[in-house]
């Protein structure tokens, strides 16, 4: 069984992406109107790039929402406005 698993792994073509991860190929049905609108709004020329951008933005947005849960909880110490001005 171990040799069979090794054979399967050897057949997978791995391609690293810019985020240090591995790209995967998949087929999905997308709303063409939404994809075209997103491509126009972002000036991104490929569906792949606009979908990746959408995923990045979704992750950023949800990460921010998670962080906001801790606001006024006493866990955070520091002055956020001060930190922003130090950038």
Q: pLDDT by residue (tens digit) across 45-63?
A: 999 999 999 999 999 998 8
The pTM (predicted TM-score) of the whole model is: 0.57
Positions in the chain whose pLDDT score sits under 50: 1-12
DSSP assignments along 29-61, one per residue: ---HHHHHHHHHHHT---HHHHHHHHHHHHHHH
Question: What does the mean pLDDT of the chain come to?
Answer: 78
Task: Identify the DSSP state of 19.
Answer: T
Q: Quick count: other Cβ atoms within 10 Å of Cβ 54? A: 15
What pLDDT does 3 receive?
Answer: 45
Q: How far apart are CA 64 and CA 9, in angstroms?
A: 36
Domain map (residue ranges) of the chain: 2-73
């Amino acid at each position: 069984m171990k040799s069979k698993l090794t054979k399967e792994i050897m057949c997978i073509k791995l391609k690293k992406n810019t985020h240090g991860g591995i790209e995967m190929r998949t087929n999905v049905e997308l709303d063409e109107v939404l994809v075209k609108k997103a491509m126009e709004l972002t000036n991104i020329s490929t569906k792949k790039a606009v979908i990746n951008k959408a995923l990045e933005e979704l992750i950023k947005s949800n990460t921010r929402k998670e962080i906001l849960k801790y606001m006024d909880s006493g866990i955070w110490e520091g002055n956020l406005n001060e930190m922003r001005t130090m950038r």
